[in-house]
Structure 1
Amino acid sequence: MPQRRKPASEVTPEYEDSGLFKNKVGQLSVELVPQMMRNGRNDLVVRGFVNRTIEIEVAFAGRRVKEVGPLEARLRAMMTHAVKKAAASGGKEPDTDHIRLPVLIEGAWRPRFKRDQAGWETRSYYLFAARWSVLDNEGNTVSFGSPPIVVASQYQD
């Protein structure tokens, strides 16, 4: 399969954002859980919940990955604290779905297709984060990321 990606030196912020933010950008309150992975492009993908029950995946991609370190560290610290607390009380290991960090995310939805074991393709969505805000330990809002330079909308308003 031919390589279609541009070399990193040729990727401008405008080009990157036009690829990431293909739909309208909006704000959404998400509760992230400490279940994370890196994909083949080194994007950070984190599980989260909207409205406390709807499971989603949030992707921090491109140049914004450089700013996701504090968020990733905070989620890991929350998991470590919960494991230590459970071990100290003699309880079982905590359920990651109950360890949640509220985050305000500005981003755009992107569809994703997965093939299940029966061969059916199911559609789910990633929320690609452009900017995100969390409360620090003192209760102050700390923001990361940057607004998209280009939003390549498929839909006309």
Structure 2
Amino acid sequence: MPHRRRPASEVTPEYEDSGLFKNKVGQLQVELVPQSMYNGRNDLVVRGFVNRTIEIEVAFAGRRVKEVGPLEARLRQVRAKALKEAAEKGLPPPDTDHMRLPVLIEGAWRPRFQRDQAGWETRSYYLFAARWSLLDDEGNTLSFGSRPLVVARQSQD
């Protein structure tokens, strides 16, 4: 299979955004949990929930990854606070799914296919973040990212 990725020096913000944001961009309130990983493309992928119960994964990709430091720090704070409160009360550590950080995310949905143990492919979705906002310790809104310069195609409304 040929290697189709451009060298980093040739990737412009417009080219990057046309690859990341292939569908309509919208805003969504998400509760992120302190469980994340970096994938093979060095995108930060964070688990989260929409409407309190629908589990999703949010990807912070490309040049926007440089801005995720404050988000990662805030997720660590949420985890540390929950663990400390449980320890002070003599309770077992809470489940990670109950440690949540509300974040307003502007982004686009991208499908992902995974093969289960029986060989069936299941479809799930990533929310690729373009911009995101969260509250700091004092209640001030912190905003990161940038609006997409290119959206590959807009769906018909």
TM-score bracket, shorter-length normalisation? over 0.9
* Deviations 1:79-125, CA, capped at 9 Å, x for gaps: 12222332333221211111111110000000000001110000000
* Deviations 1:115-152, CA, capped at 9 Å, x for gaps: 01110000000000000001111111111000000000
2:70 and 2:27 map into 1 onto residues whose CA distance is 20
2:12 and 2:96 map into 1 onto residues whose CA distance is 37
1:149 and 1:20 map into 2 onto residues whose CA distance is 11
Q: Which runs of 5+ in 1 are unaligned?
A: none
Within-5 A mapping of 1:16-35: 16-35=16-35
Within-5 A mapping of 1:20-59: 20-59=20-59
TM-score, length-normalised on structure 2? 0.95
How far 1:15 sits from its partner (Å)? 0.2
Within-5 A mapping of 1:98-109: 98-109=98-109
Q: Which runs of 5+ in 2 are unaligned?
A: none
TM-score, length-normalised on structure 1? 0.95
2:86 and 2:155 map into 1 onto residues whose CA distance is 49
1:86 and 1:136 map into 2 onto residues whose CA distance is 22
Within-5 A mapping of 1:64-75: 64-75=64-75
Q: Does the residue aligned with 1:70 lie in a helix, a strand or coil?
A: helix
1:137 and 1:109 map into 2 onto residues whose CA distance is 30
Q: % of aligned pairs identical?
A: 83
How far 1:50 sits from its partner (Å)? 0.5
Within-5 A mapping of 1:82-101: 82-101=82-101
Aligned residue in 2 for 1:138: 138
Residue 125 (structure 2) pairs with residue 125 (structure 1):
yes
Q: Which amino acid aligns with 1:124?
A: S
1:152 and 1:14 map into 2 onto residues whose CA distance is 10
1:139 and 1:119 map into 2 onto residues whose CA distance is 47
* Deviations 1:27-75, CA, capped at 9 Å, x for gaps: 0000001010100011000011111111100000000000011001110
How far 1:156 sits from its partner (Å)? 4.2
